[in-house]
Each structure stands twice: as structure tokens, then as C-alpha cells.
């Protein structure tokens, strides 16, 4: 009996699968898959060496098809996933490897009573329809395993012949790599279009792109019934993405006018905001209103939450002081304007230094994240000054990933993911250790780079 139990607990052998990525946000693709695999807790081996050469294909080994489909239900940067049957430098090599596959591996999908189709696709080279037909004919003549009926519209099984040509050799006749795989599932590229900002009820000047919002939710490993906070919520794009994956969401922002739809409209030719514009209606637009908790007008530099308040994830895009002002409420001892007793009081604001924003953000996350919870945020960087030491650190938070989105030749922003690995012993301690000089200088460097670019353009046209 014990022997049978031990045998039943033996891990399943890993099968070969192939992911085809979309040619979008290249630096984020691998980290998104790693985060999803970690969230699902499924055994996996990722072979990312080809990605470094510019290929959109990555081989990974998984236990079963169920895990493969679960991954594709989350990823927004992957187009398709296949069970990898054969690969090689040429079509002939692929055909030979197909012949060597065990019959029990291919029989369930190539029987005479099933239907199939073969799709030919290429990357970095356009292949004509006639060339595609020649490849299909060669494949089916060389391998007699395909015995089923051909059905191009709704086959029982779809096989994809994929050719990758290196980007430096578009004129080359031979591909860098050829794959043949059985289609398993598509990724979630479609929901990016569904959540496009163009159709969003409420947007602001800095509303986060739908694709990046969903990526951030994946990096934060947001799941059903999680509690997610955005302390710089703006128009709530990150809350929409988190609610899509089943989380309960809330946020804070210091901009009273924006949250109450009284700020200047962000859409062209719109003279005034509608009273219907709100974060709540953004979620309601997609049937996610039951996931909405609340939005508070609050200063992120002031921790107003009780010590026991914990969040499963904190996802945010802090203001950089470029398109939106970075402001905080002035402390009582620093107030310079005298107030008359009994008169209306309006909190006085001052500039919120970037270095202080990230210092406070990490300190807040260290206190209010659940153990194992994730902080995901954007860090603006000036490329000439950037180094790994520029990333803010905290002893309770461990850096999980660091992905760059280049904005121009000198400016980029990095998507930082951190995991809480230990509890804070003192709520008000100054444990946060950050290198803030380069962060505080970002705004000056940004405008300096713009001025240099403008001078070069003017000199070139004179």
C-alpha cells in the first residue's frame, strides 16, 4: 500500500511546450510568464536563451496541458501556446524528428476519425501562399501520421509550422529555427482591446495603458478575492486591471478635482467633464462594480491606515512632476500662511520630491503589505545616471524583477516588482534605505534632455 502511495505522488514528467510572444513590450515578456508560473505554483522549466537573440518563441516544460492552459488564461504578452512536437534548423530535420515520436504521443491527435489543419507562419520574413502550400505538402508526404480529415474552419486539432528568421537576415533563404507544434491555447491579447482607453468612461492625462495595467496586475500576482490598493489612483486604470482578475480594489489620490470630475478634461474637444466620470463608473463599464470598495481623497505621504490594515498587493504609478504635479500636504510646522479663526481652511500643498515619494511608498508597503504580498510600481530613470543601486531598497522588501520601458534615447521608466519577505518591527522606524539623488534629479535631467534635443534640432535646420 505504501509503495502504491509513493508511486502516485511521483511528479509527472515534464512535456515540451512552445510560447509564441507578441512583438510588444519585449523586456516584460519573460518576467510576466515567470510571475504567472509562480502564482499558479506549477512545476515549470523556462528556456529563455532564444529570447535573447530576438526570437518571439520560448520553449518551456510543463507537467500537463491543464497548467499550460492556466498560464494562457493570464498572460497578455503571449499570442499562442503549442505542444512542441519537433524543432530543428530545417523543415527536413523537423519531419525526421516527427517520425521518431512515439506512436502513443501522436495517435490521439492524428486518428482517421479526427479532423486537422496545418497553419504555416513565419517571423521576420513574408512567405507567399504558394510557398506555404509547398511546405504543407512536403510535411504531409514525408510524414504519413496525418491520417485524419482536413478541416480548415473548425478542426479537432490544429498544427502550426513556425519559421523564425533572424532580424539581421531578412533576405536569407533558410530560417534560423523551424518548429512544429499542436495548438493548445491563445493568450489574452483580446482583452487589451476590450479595455482600451479610447473607450474608457473616465481617463486622465496619465491614465495607464490597458496592456501595461494588465501586465502590472500579473506581476503583482493579483488573484480572486485579493485586496489591492493604488495610493496614486488617478483615473483608476490599475484598479480596473486588478478587478479583472477578481480582486477587490480601492485607491487614494490627493487630486480632489480629478476624483470629483471637476478637473480639466483630458480628451480633445471635450469642454467639461461629465458627472458620470468616476473610477466607480470605469469598473461598472466592464461589469466589475462589485469589486469596487472606495476611493479616498488623501495624501500618500501621510499614513492614515491602522497598523492592522493589510493589502495583498499595492500597484501604482507615482507622479513624476512632468505631466502631473507631485504634491503633498504641508506639515503644520511648515505652514507659512496665517489662518483666521473661523475662516474656511484649505490645506496648503508643497512639492513632493521624487526621492521622498519612493521612500514613503516602500515604507508604506513594508508596513501594510501582507507577508508575501507584492509592491509593483514605475520608477522613472535618466539613462546616463542609471545603475542598479538607483533602485530604492527596504530591508523588508525583496526585489523580484526590474523591467525597462525605454521612452527615448535618454529617458526610460522601470517596472519594479518587490515582495514583502519579513514584517516591520516598528511602524515609525526609519528603516527605509534608498539612493535618492538620481531620483530627485530626474525632473531636471528630463527637461535638460528636452532642451538639448531642441537645440540640436534648431542647429540642424539653420
pLDDT tens digits for range 170-184: 557 789 999 999 999
Write down the pLDDT at residue 171.
Answer: 55
**What CA dihedral angle connects 78, 80, 83 and 89, to 10 degrees?**
-80
Mean of the pLDDT values across residues 23-35? 96
Q: Among 424, 377, 431, 434, which Cα is nearest to 400's? A: 377
Write down the pLDDT at residue 3.
Answer: 39
The pTM of this model reads 0.90
Write down the pLDDT at residue 1.
Answer: 36
Predicted confidence (pLDDT) per residue in 392-420, tens digit: 999 999 999 999 999 988 999 999 999 99
Is the pLDDT at 320 greater than 50? The verdict is yes
Predicted confidence (pLDDT) per residue in 183-237, tens digit: 999 999 999 999 999 999 999 999 999 999 999 999 999 999 999 999 999 999 9
Predicted confidence (pLDDT) per residue in 37-80, tens digit: 999 999 999 999 888 888 999 999 999 999 999 999 999 999 99
Q: Among 360, 376, 364, 356, which Cα is nearest to 443's? A: 356
Mean of the pLDDT values across residues 329-334? 66
Alpha-carbon distance of 341 to 345, in angstroms, equals 9
Write down the pLDDT at residue 13.
Answer: 80
Write down the pLDDT at residue 189.
Answer: 96
Residue 71 near residue 40, CB atoms below 8 Å: yes
Q: Which three cell numbers stand for residue 158?
A: 490544429
Is the pLDDT at 272 greater than 80? The verdict is yes
Task: Count the alpha carbons within 13 Å of 9 in the hemisphere toward its beta carbon.
Answer: 6
Alpha-carbon distance of 435 to 381, in angstroms, equals 13
DSSP type of residue 39: H
Tell me whether residue 189 is exposed, middle or buried, using C-beta atoms within 10 angstroms of its C-beta: 0 to 12, 13 to 18, 19 or more.
middle
Q: Among 256, 230, 260, which Cα is nearest to 243's? A: 230
Q: Among 275, 279, 250, 249, which Cα is nearest to 261's? A: 275
Query: Any bridge partners for residue 83, and if so which?
Result: 17, 182
Is the pLDDT at 14 greater than 80? The verdict is yes
Predicted confidence (pLDDT) per residue in 120-161, tens digit: 999 999 999 999 999 999 999 988 889 899 999 999 999 999
Write down the pLDDT at residue 48.
Answer: 92
From start to end of 330-410, where are the E strands? 349-351, 369-382, 397-406
Alpha-carbon distance of 304 to 433, in angstroms, equals 22
The rounded mean pLDDT for the chain is: 88
Locate all alpha helices (DSSP H) within 370-441, ordered by sequence: 437-440
Amino acid at each position: 500500500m505504501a509503495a502504491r502511495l509513493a508511486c502516485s505522488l511521483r511528479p509527472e514528467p515534464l512535456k515540451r511546450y512552445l510560447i509564441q510572444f507578441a512583438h510588444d513590450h519585449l523586456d516584460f515578456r519573460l518576467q510576466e510568464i515567470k510571475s504567472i508560473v509562480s502564482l499558479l505554483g506549477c512545476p515549470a522549466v523556462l528556456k529563455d536563451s532564444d529570447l535573447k537573440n530576438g526570437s518571439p518563441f520560448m520553449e518551456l516544460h510543463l507537467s500537463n496541458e491543464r497548467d499550460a492552459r492556466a498560464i494562457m488564461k493570464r498572460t497578455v504578452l503571449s499570442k499562442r501556446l503549442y505542444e512542441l512536437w519537433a524543432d530543428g534548423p530545417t523543415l527536413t530535420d523537423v519531419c525526421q524528428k516527427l517520425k521518431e515520436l512515439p506512436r502513443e504521443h501522436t495517435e490521439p491527435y492524428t486518428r482517421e476519425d479526427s479532423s486537422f489543419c496545418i497553419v504555416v507562419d513565419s517571423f521576420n520574413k513574408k512567405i507567399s501562399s504558394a510557398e506555404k502550400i509547398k511546405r504543407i505538402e512536403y510535411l504531409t508526404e514525408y510524414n504519413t501520421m496525418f491520417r485524419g480529415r482536413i478541416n480548415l474552419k473548425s478542426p479537432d486539432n490544429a498544427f502550426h509550422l513556425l519559421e523564425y528568421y533572424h532580424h539581421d537576415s531578412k533576405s536569407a533563404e533558410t530560417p534560423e529555427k523551424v518548429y512544429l507544434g499542436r495548438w493548445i491555447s491563445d493568450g489574452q491579447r483580446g482583452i487589451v482591446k476590450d479595455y482600451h482607453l479610447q473607450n474608457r468612461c473616465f481617463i486622465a492625462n496619465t491614465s495607464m495603458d490597458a496592456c501595461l495595467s494588465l501586465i502590472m496586475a500579473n506581476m503583482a500576482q493579483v488573484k480572486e478575492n485579493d485586496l489591492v490598493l493604488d495610493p496614486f489612483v488617478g483615473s483608476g486604470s490599475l484598479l480596473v486591471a486588478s478587478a479583472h482578475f477578481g480582486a477587490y480594489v480601492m485607491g487614494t489620490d490627493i487630486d480632489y478635482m480629478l476624483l470629483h470630475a471637476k478637473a480639466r478634461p483630458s480628451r480633445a474637444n471635450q469642454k467639461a467633464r461629465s458627472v458620470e466620470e468616476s473610477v466607480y463608473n470605469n469598473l461598472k463599464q466592464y461589469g466589475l462594480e462589485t469589486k469596487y470598495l472606495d476611493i479616498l481623497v488623501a495624501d500618500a505621504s501621510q499614513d492614515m491606515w491602522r497598523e492592522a490594515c493589510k493589502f495583498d498587493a499595492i500597484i501604482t504609478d507615482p507622479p513624476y512632476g512632468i505631466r502631473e504635479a507631485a504634491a503633498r500636504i504641508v506639515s503644520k510646522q511648515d505652514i507659512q500662511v496665517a489662518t483666521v479663526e473661523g475662516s474656511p481652511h484649505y490645506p496648503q500643498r508643497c512639492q513632493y520630491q521624487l526621492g521622498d515619494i519612493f521612500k514613503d511608498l516602500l515604507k508604506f508597503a513594508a508596513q501594510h503589505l501582507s507577508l508575501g504580498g507584492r509592491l509593483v510600481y514605475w520608477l522613472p530613470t535618466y539613462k546616463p545616471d542609471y545603475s542598479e543601486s538607483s533602485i530604492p531598497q527596504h530591508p523588508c522588501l525583496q526585489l523580484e524583477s526590474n523591467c525597462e520601458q525605454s521612452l527615448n534615447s535618454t529617458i526610460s521608466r522601470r517596472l519594479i516588482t518587490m515582495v514583502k519577505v519579513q514584517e516591520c518591527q516598528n511602524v515609525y522606524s526609519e528603516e527605509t534605505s534608498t539612493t535618492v539623488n538620481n531620483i530627485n534629479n530626474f525632473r531636471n535631467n528630463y527637461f535638460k534632455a528636452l532642451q538639448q534635443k531642441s537645440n540640436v534640432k534648431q542647429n540642424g535646420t539653420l
